[in-house]
Amino acid sequence: MTWRRRIRARSLHIWTLLVLAALARLYRIGSPLIGVHSWRQADTAAMARNYFESGYHLFFPQVDWGGAGPGFVESEFPIVPFLVALLYRILGMHEWIGRAVAALCSLIAGYALFHLVRKTSGERIALWTAAFYLFLPLSLFYSRAFMPDSAMMAASILAVVWFFEWTQTGKPGYWVGSAIAFALACLLKLPCLYLGLPILYMAWNRFGPAFWRLGALWAYALVVIAPVGAWYLHAHQILLHGGLTFGIWEYGSDKWGNWDLVASGRFWNAVLLRSVAERWLTWPGFAVALVGILAVPRTAAERIFDFWLVAILVFFIVVAKGNYVHEYYQWALLPVASFYLAKAFVYGFRSGPNVRAMSFAGILLAMLGLSIWRYSSYIAKENPSSSSQCALATKVRELTERGARVVVVDRGDPTMMYLCDRKGWHASPQEVDERFLSSRAREGAKYVIGVVDRTDDASVAMAHMLADRYRGVLNQEGLIIYALVEPPRGLTRSTLRRDGARE
């Protein structure tokens, strides 16, 4: 076989893999934004819809839960919902567009990872790495979710790949591409600063201990840090001037300073065992990945992944609460884990059919079965016919006027508000009383909506209070809509005036 035929055959392998990955992501791509982590998807989709409907002001993202205000929010750089909103102008407003953008980013990430591993480890290991990255169950699920994380992963991998290429070739285009990709990754998710560790290793490996003297590296850091710092400073001003926040800088909350949690066994059990081992890699895959880390030799170039792994562990510690609560945070580990899996499987199959190879084949089949089961269980939760949220959203759109502000009893989950295509206020059953609703009505709320949880005493008590005091628009099978624009039953207009409500 000539060298040209070999190149074509190798290209065919990776493109076949990418086509299969694309087809897998097209399955139920039009599903509504319900199910696993629908809240994150709903916020992203709401920002896209608000750009589309309210104007393309990139630097002022809007969510639906801003009450009577515009809903401007302190957030990561909203380039993904902005791009989706631009596509809405061409294709119409459809949620599958947001899913398709995420899927495309995952394919770019898979190919970029293949390219890096082919340079460091050869064609065979690169194909295995790309296959694991693209087809492990949660990667397949979240890479077609309406979220910015898929774009963040693509930018992260491209930053590492292009920096590696720059250290090997010295071409300035790779330097520029890596710096922009690194900055974009941090704009999408600030903790992506952890990528600095594998990048520093590549610089040291190429230029030696004096790498820190290179002006190109200082310029690289400036190109990364300047736009990131500028955006997050601007985003914080949104909060300070009466906006909302996703809690980016709340020390001791979602992302920073949870040292007591890190020191607990429940944290490492939740992150490494229940999430990484059980859900992301499957238990057999987790065991094989440990073999790849501990037992399979690596070259100096492949040590990139060791430093990348250390950086991810630092990320787990720094962003402890986020990793503890949100399983998709561990997506950051997948490029590295996929490489270790590939190294172990290629090592296991290297010597042909024997006991070791048969064992690895059995493990691979077990991983496949568990992956299908996990993915199917996640996809099943996106079935609108079994969703009370979808049922209530349909009723709200039918029975209330478009543009009406609502109080949504959702415990802070924006999914319902997005599905209803309404704006307003979050509420929990415990805080919904006459005083609270009178206050919201003064601010412009016209309805309170929600799904009654019959197993929750506070939810049941709230439903009784609403039925006794307000005019019901809908009260059927746990789905409730009550009007707030009229005085509650049993209250006089003079009572409302004492509360300061409008007549």
pLDDT at 354: 76
For residues 42 and 418, the answer to whether their CB atoms sit within 8 Å is: yes
pLDDT in tens, 428-486: 999 999 999 999 999 999 999 999 999 999 999 999 999 999 999 999 999 999 999 76
How does strand 445-451 pair with strand 471-476? unpaired
pLDDT band at 146 (very low <50, low <70, confident <90, very high): very high
pLDDT band at 8 (very low <50, low <70, confident <90, very high): low
DSSP-based three-state secondary structure for 399 = helix
DSSP-assigned letters across all residues of 275-295: IIIIIIS-HHHHHHHHHHHHT
pLDDT at 247: 82
pLDDT in tens, 248-293: 776 555 566 688 899 999 999 999 999 999 999 999 999 999 999 9
pLDDT at 254: 58
**C-alpha to C-alpha distance for 136 and 468, rounded to whole angstroms:** 51
- What are the residue ranges spanned by the domains of the chain? 3-30+94-231+247-380, 386-499
For residues 323 and 280, the answer to whether their CB atoms sit within 8 Å is: no
Closest CA to 451 of 414, 483, 477, 431: 477
DSSP-assigned letters across all residues of 15-75: HHHHHHHHHHHHTTTT--S-STTHHHHHHHHHHHHHHHHH---TTS-B-S--TTS--BEE-
DSSP-based three-state secondary structure for 425 = strand
pLDDT at 253: 57
